[in-house]
Amino acid sequence: MHHLSLPLLLFLLCSGAKAEEIIGGTECKPHSRPYMAYLDIVHSQGQVYGCGGFLIRRDFVLTAAHCAGRFMTVTLGAHNTTGNEDTWQKIEVEKQFPHPKYDDNFIVHDIMLLKLKEKAKLTLAVGTLPLPSQFNFIPPGRMCRAVGWGQTNVNGPGSDVLQEVKMRLLPPWACKHFPKFNHKRQLCVGNPTKIKNVYKGDSGGPILCAGIAQGIASYVHINVSPPAVFTRISYYRDWINKILREN
């Protein structure tokens, strides 16, 4: 991570300008995840990095608050982020809405809405993703899928195509080594005995359970071993709905 002070043991999931992939995952069928958004972000100090996100309304993308920057462009309809595919829709972000209680020292309330300057055109390659209701508190034990363009391993680059990986939701005690983990607001995800995880570049991407976005990729342990922490979307539905209504 280029620009945030990190708490002990935590590693935020932003990347450099080149996007790479999920660790231990497989390539998605091209454009089978039409809600996915690739974020090109320029930080206030000039660094350029990438995050993931997902389209929840034609003019709104949901992502992680630690992906905030001075200037941001969203690419929709992408599979290969270097391919300049004819399915792409590149749209500038008009306004960023990080959660008002987001704390970048302890990585809590790590959720942000992005208002696009223009509405996306819905196509076979660009679509929206449903969110859970505020009462849909998904329990541990479910097998879900994380999606993103984060690195495939710690040191080496991978291809620039969208990846996905199966990860199980774990009970809260499995994330007790994270000082500020809160089961009401976050998901503990990923079997520590398997080499499957999100990593740099996956920030802001969703974890999907039965086709519904239940979480947003937030951070991992600095040694990159699972589990990872995702922001629990259902906890924030009132706040999300308020921003969408007002904009």
Q: From the candidates 43, 66, 79, 99, which is the catalytic residue?
A: 66
Peptide bond into 132 cis (omega under 30): no
Q: Is 79 designated active site?
A: no
Q: From the candidates 203, 218, 221, 234, which is the catalytic residue?
A: 203
| 67-77 burial: b if 16+ Cβ within 10 Å, else e | bbbeebebbbb
Give the amino acid at 7.
Answer: P
Q: From the candidates 110, 160, 221, 234, which is the catalytic residue?
A: 110
CA gap 94, 212 in Å, rounded: 26
Specify the residue for token string 């708490």.
7
Q: Which residues pair with 209 in a beta bridge?
A: 212
Q: Is 110 designated active site?
A: yes
Strand residue runs (E) in 43-176: 48-57, 60-63, 71-76, 89-98, 112-116, 143-148, 163-170
Task: Catalogue the active-site residues.
Answer: 66, 110, 203
